[in-house]
Amino acid sequence: MQHTNQELLFKGLKYLAGALPLLFLGPVIMYSAFGNQDKFLFWPVLILSIILCIAAGYLIFKGIKTLMKALFND
């Protein structure tokens, strides 16, 4: 009988917990950027929001991959 690797499980949950605020922050900042297209900070704010959205996707992928490794002992 195989047991779950606790360290990897908590590491995967940390990745997912880190992705949670980015899931909300990225689109909110992007909405704010598109609402202020005439301002001079439009492009830096838009680029920041895109980076946050990509980081959220990466952390979700990394977190789920780590959880699967912890649960199935690959």
Rounded CA Rg of the chain:
17
Query: What CA–CA distance (Å, rounded) separates 69 from 72?
Result: 5
Query: What CA–CA distance (Å, rounded) separates 7 from 69?
Result: 11
The dihedral formed by the CA atoms of 33, 36, 37 and 38, expressed in degrees to the nearest 10: -150
Give the pLDDT confidence score for residue 42 in this predicted structure: 94
Tell which residue, 36, 32, 29, has the closest CA to residue 50. Answer: 29
Per residue of the chain (74 residues), give pLDDT as tens: 678 888 999 999 999 999 999 999 999 999 999 999 999 999 999 999 999 999 999 999 999 999 999 988 75
Give the pLDDT confidence score for residue 2 in this predicted structure: 74
pTM over 0.85: yes
Per-domain residue ranges of the chain: 6-72
